[in-house]
Structure 1
């Protein structure tokens, strides 16, 4: 007899579902919770809730502080230890290979992932598009951070102290649209990135080449790198540029999620795409 709910609405394992609910509630709480408060907050029967927290304590995921006759439960850093091990195993160059290839085929332009290394951007992944013309971009390529959309997308979301270290190292571009390489001008570019949610570079590093890129974030909400597309300046205009911007922002959000960054932590300008 059906209870009216679909299979998709029911957790595959109610016990695991309840355990994760308790763990999430403990992590989100500003202070320790009693069993009664935890059971009320999670809407889980008190006896079941007690069994879960005792198991979490036994496995090292929760600890309790006794005050008089009350026991207050908090999570431990064992979760953080697990997360750190996972992050170390994440290969940014392999995290969205299929999606990078799909975006490249949709736009007819190569898609890249870059990370900041000192004052340079290092390309760590590329999804090339078929065709006679191939851009001089490849995994391992190093470029000035301020003359690429990838670098600008990263720099825009760096903490102020880390950005300050980079500003004395701005370089002049060789392209026809090269701008003044001053901290004031560059910080103006970064402010536009934070408003738009993506960065652009239009014939500044070299003639006829433009790029669009968006940031991606790690599990702690720190900018981890950027994903972008490169194309001829004549092609990255109007609706095609808008489509490229939407594509890289959405891919940046996807990569961020795979790195463990909750959508709610992402900057609001990225969540609107």
Structure 2
């Protein structure tokens, strides 16, 4: 009989208790306002007594707090969660190696520049160089998006080892934008072939109307894809010559990030020149 530590991850039964605790945390963070225990239990579909046990434990550990009004208790997450996330970002954050270059590219293109990393089947925005102006896009460090619906995610997925890509393909999410296309595994593989052929990824009104993005991957000291850099703008501003300029810019920035992360120049994939 296999000892517990010898059992593969795929053979291990998930923990309902951990799953419920994470669901409660996610719901508290996502909520626009404080939640009563009853509302939280209903929103998470977790029995009231179990939900109460979870939030009291979170309160004891400093991850949740409550505001008492009469006989009602309103729960909200604390910034201790942010502290954990900040520690993690500092450990894995490749963005600090290219802040001046991100700012320069954002100013050059007059569009925000982002760095994203893959976390499961999601892309997490870990850095942003914003542009001045009244209109600001809903992109910020910490934002999470389905990997297949962003240029950032596609640029990373195109260079993943086959085994890692296969694990992600069953988790493709259909787009909701006006240009959303086929969300099948075959169609996504074809899209990744296109990314590899030119060296950068494009998303144009597939996730959201009127918004497009262009992104290129960067690589670590082992030559493995580590994340991507991208620009976001109105779809009308990321076509024709402006798309070519954006593609050239993210390719240049991605190559610089790769160099500073120690990627050997010979390990970088061939990128199509943007004329």
Q: What TM-score do the two structures reach when normalised by structure 2?
A: 0.66
Map 1:208-227 → 2, pairs under 5 A? 208-227=210-229
Q: Which deviations, in whole Å up to 9, do the C-alpha atoms of 1:17-53 show, x marking residues without a partner?
A: xxxxxxxxxxxxxxxxxxxxxxxxxxxxxxxxxxxxx
Higher CA-based Rg: 1
2:204 corresponding residue in structure 1? 202
Question: How far apart are the structure 2 equivalents of 1:181 and 1:90?
Answer: 30
Question: How far apart are the structure 2 equivalents of 1:263 and 1:150?
Answer: 22
2:133 corresponding residue in structure 1? 131
1:89, distance to aligned residue in structure 2 (A): 6.3
RMSD: 1.3
1:263, distance to aligned residue in structure 2 (A): 1.4
Question: How far apart are the structure 2 equivalents of 1:171 and 1:238?
Answer: 28
1:90, distance to aligned residue in structure 2 (A): 6.9
Q: Secondary structure at the match of 1:137?
A: coil
2:195 corresponding residue in structure 1? 193
Structure 2 unaligned blocks of 5 or more: 1-89
Tell me, yes or no, if the aligned pair for 1:90 and 1:259 is still in contact at 8 Å.
Answer: no
Residue of structure 2 aligned with 1:228, choices 227, 230, 251: 230
Matched, 1:164 2:166: yes
Structure 1 unaligned blocks of 5 or more: 1-87
Map 1:170-185 → 2, pairs under 5 A? 170-185=172-187
1:264, distance to aligned residue in structure 2 (A): 1.5
Q: Secondary structure at the match of 1:207?
A: coil
1:262, distance to aligned residue in structure 2 (A): 1.5
Map 1:1-273 → 2, pairs under 5 A? 91-269=93-271, 272=273
Structure 1 runs (4+) deviating above 4 angstroms are none
Tell me, yes or no, if the aligned pair for 2:93 and 2:126 is still in contact at 8 Å.
Answer: no
Q: What TM-score do the two structures reach when normalised by structure 1?
A: 0.66
